[in-house]
């Protein structure tokens, strides 16, 4: 009623009429007030019928809990100088690194260190510490998280509290150093990965600690689904060593977990206990790492249904296709071949260095040592040209056989 009363139209000469009516005494004033009140009532009466049937209401605006800042386009080329977007940044003084390590499109966004032990079902990776890049200070800061993953642009990280699996997912702002929101999940989560556009997360669910190799799931003899186009086989053993149950696709801006999607753990021939899902290169599908060498083998749509590999599937390759779409890193060797897609011609072969990702169209980042290592574990990150003739050491891990210190690195578009 208050809003409708403000829509009432008062006669333009009402003030003049009121002044002329002052001489008519109190009764006139009461009459004028009555006229004005009647005008409001008439106006309301004219408005009410418009509340009847009309065009459908517009869809309510999307309720965003987190206002994500858009990630800028990553640098296109490897450059020199500390103040350029694609600059090569190294830290050869510290192991693990304390200063930002980066080259071209990529930065070392986080790393994990801890002591591990080998088991028949893979490495036991429980415990340890995650270090996260602070883009403002260009240093790595120790975190309390059990697991984390950094979004393209380096602004946000998805974090999980100790111990795994966790009942909620945090979205952490690396600039303000605070958790923007906690996203609860009904089924506990052991791993999170950002989508290529930095707007969604795939959260892999587990019934037990994903880094505990002794965890296992009973599978029927020869059981498991054969996924079309993947060339995968069902595991021959009756037990596989994972407690994974499925996944959620998280809408980060609205802090919404969505529906849980169960996935048969007996589908993949992997023996690893941690079986996190990751995104296809275009963000339309999910895959799980299977087989040997951590190669993507089994693909699913976002509802958990088996799916053929996407058109951007790079085969059994970790680095995949170059940013300009011209070159493809083949199956990890040694040797590892780089092929020209248009002709099928092998343009280079790398005999020792495992290649992880493309820094630009002409350079890759791999694990190894420029000029060789004294020990196979005494390696780090190296920037290497496509032909392998030029290499720059970005960081070198100093292996201590006594401490059994292990390390894992995460490369992210900056």
- Residue 51 confidence (pLDDT) above 50: no
Are 27 and 169 within one domain? no
Q: 131-163, pLDDT tens digit by residue? A: 999 999 999 999 999 999 999 999 999 999 999
Residue 353 or 31, more confident = 353
| Stretch 93-103: mean pLDDT | 94
Are 7 and 136 within one domain? no
Residue 98 or 219, more confident = 98
Query: What pTM was computed for the model?
Result: 0.79
- Percent of the chain at pLDDT exceeding 70: 68
Alpha-carbon distance 243 to 165, whole Å?
Answer: 10
Of these ranges, 13-22, 23-32, 213-222, 229-238, the one predicted with the greatest mean pLDDT is 213-222
Q: Exposed e or buried b for every residue in 75-112, given b needs 16+ CB within 10 A?
A: beebeeeeeebbbbbbbeeebbbebbbbbbbbbbbbbb
- Provide the β-strand partners of residue 191: 204
For residue 309, being part of any structural domain is answered with yes
Of these ranges, 41-55, 98-112, 218-232, the one predicted with the greatest mean pLDDT is 98-112
- Residue 14 confidence (pLDDT) above 60: no
For residue 362, being part of any structural domain is answered with no
Residue 131: predicted pLDDT: 97
Are 135 and 250 within one domain? yes
Of the listed ranges 29-38, 171-180, 303-312, the one predicted with least confidence: 29-38
- Residue 226 confidence (pLDDT) above 50: no
For residue 386, being part of any structural domain is answered with no
Of the listed ranges 27-36, 263-272, 405-414, the one predicted with least confidence: 27-36
Residue 286: predicted pLDDT: 94
Q: Per-residue confidence at 377, pLDDT binned at 50, 70, 90?
A: low
| Stretch 112-135: mean pLDDT | 79
Domain boundary among 12, 28, 51: 51
Which two tokens mark 248? 């959620």
- Residue 284 confidence (pLDDT) above 80: yes
For residue 263, being part of any structural domain is answered with yes
Q: 205-224, pLDDT tens digit by residue? A: 999 999 887 666 677 665 44
Residue 19: predicted pLDDT: 47
Q: What are phi and psi of 305, to 5 degrees?
A: -85, 140
Are 36 and 157 within one domain? no
Alpha-carbon distance 215 to 121, whole Å?
Answer: 9
- Residue 75 confidence (pLDDT) above 70: yes
Domain boundary among 51, 68, 88: 51
Q: How many domains does the chain have?
A: 2
Residue 94: predicted pLDDT: 92
Are 43 and 155 within one domain? no
If residue 45 lies in a helix (H) or strand (E), which one and from where to where? helix 26-47
For residue 282, being part of any structural domain is answered with yes
Structural domain range at position 259: 102-316+402-413
Answer for the pair 348, 342: CB distance below 8 angstroms, yes or no.
Answer: no
Among candidate residues 311, 386, 297, the one with its CA nearest the CA of residue 345: 386
Residue 183's SS3 state is: strand
Are 45 and 177 within one domain? no
Q: 186-203, pLDDT tens digit by residue? A: 999 999 999 999 999 999
Are 17 and 110 within one domain? no
Are 30 and 148 within one domain? no
Exposed, middle or buried, 149 (CB in 10 Å: 0-12/13-18/19+)? buried
Residue 394: predicted pLDDT: 95
- For residue 268, give the CATH number of its domain: 2.120.10
Are 154 and 257 within one domain? yes
Residue 116 or 147, more confident = 147
For residue 293, being part of any structural domain is answered with yes
For residue 144, being part of any structural domain is answered with yes
Residue 134 or 121, more confident = 134
Residue 125: predicted pLDDT: 67
For residue 359, being part of any structural domain is answered with no
Say how far residue 220 (Cα) sits from the centre of its chain: 34
Which two tokens mark 264? 């048969």
Q: Per-residue confidence at 118, pLDDT binned at 50, 70, 90?
A: low
Alpha-carbon distance 175 to 242, whole Å?
Answer: 36
């Amino acid at each position: 009623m208050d809003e409708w009363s403000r829509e009432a139209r008062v006669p333009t000469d009402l003030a003049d009429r009121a002044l002329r009516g002052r001489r008519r005494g109190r009764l006139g004033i009461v009459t004028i007030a009555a006229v004005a009140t009647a005008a409001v009532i008439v106006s309301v009466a004219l408005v009410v019928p418009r509340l009847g049937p009309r065009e459908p209401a517009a869809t309510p605006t999307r309720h965003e809990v987190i206002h994500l800042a858009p990630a800028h386009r990553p640098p296109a080329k490897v450059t020199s100088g500390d103040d350029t977007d694609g600059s090569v940044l190294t830290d050869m003084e510290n192991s693990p690194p304390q200063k930002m390590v980066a080259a071209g499109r990529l930065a070392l966004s986080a790393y994990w260190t801890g002591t591990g032990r080998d088991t028949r079902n893979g490495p036991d990776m429980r415990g340890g510490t995650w270090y996260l890049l602070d883009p403002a200070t260009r240093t790595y800061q120790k975190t309390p998280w059990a697991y984390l993953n950094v979004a393209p642009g380096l602004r946000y990280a998805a974090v999980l509290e100790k111990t795994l699996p966790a009942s909620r997912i945090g979205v952490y702002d690396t600039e303000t150093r605070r958790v923007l929101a906690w996203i609860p999940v009904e089924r506990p989560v052991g791993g999170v990965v950002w989508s290529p556009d930095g707007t969604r997360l795939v959260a892999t669910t587990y019934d037990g600690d994903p880094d505990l190799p002794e965890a296992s799931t009973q599978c029927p003899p020869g059981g498991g689904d054969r996924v079309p186009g993947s060339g995968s086989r069902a595991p021959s053993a009756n037990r596989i060593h994972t407690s994974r149950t499925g996944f959620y696709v998280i809408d980060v801006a609205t802090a919404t977990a969505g529906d849980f999607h169960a996935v048969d753990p007996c589908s993949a021939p992997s023996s690893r206990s941690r079986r996190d899902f990751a995104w296809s290169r275009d963000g339309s599908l999910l895959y799980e790492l299977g087989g040997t060498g951590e190669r993507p083998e089994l693909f699913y749509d976002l509802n958990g249904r088996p799916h053929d590999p996407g058109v951007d599937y790079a085969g059994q390759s970790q680095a995949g296709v170059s940013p300009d779409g011209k070159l493809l890193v083949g199956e990890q060797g040694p040797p590892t071949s780089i092929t020209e897609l248009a002709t099928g011609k092998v343009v280079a072969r790398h005999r020792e260095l495992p290649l992880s990702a493309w820094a630009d169209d002409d350079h890759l980042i791999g694990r190894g040592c420029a000029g060789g290592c004294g020990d196979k574990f005494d390696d780090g990150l190296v920037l290497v040209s496509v032909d392998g003739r030029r290499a720059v050491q970005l960081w070198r891990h100093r292996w201590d056989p006594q401490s059994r210190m292990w390390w894992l690195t995460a490369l992210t578009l900056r």
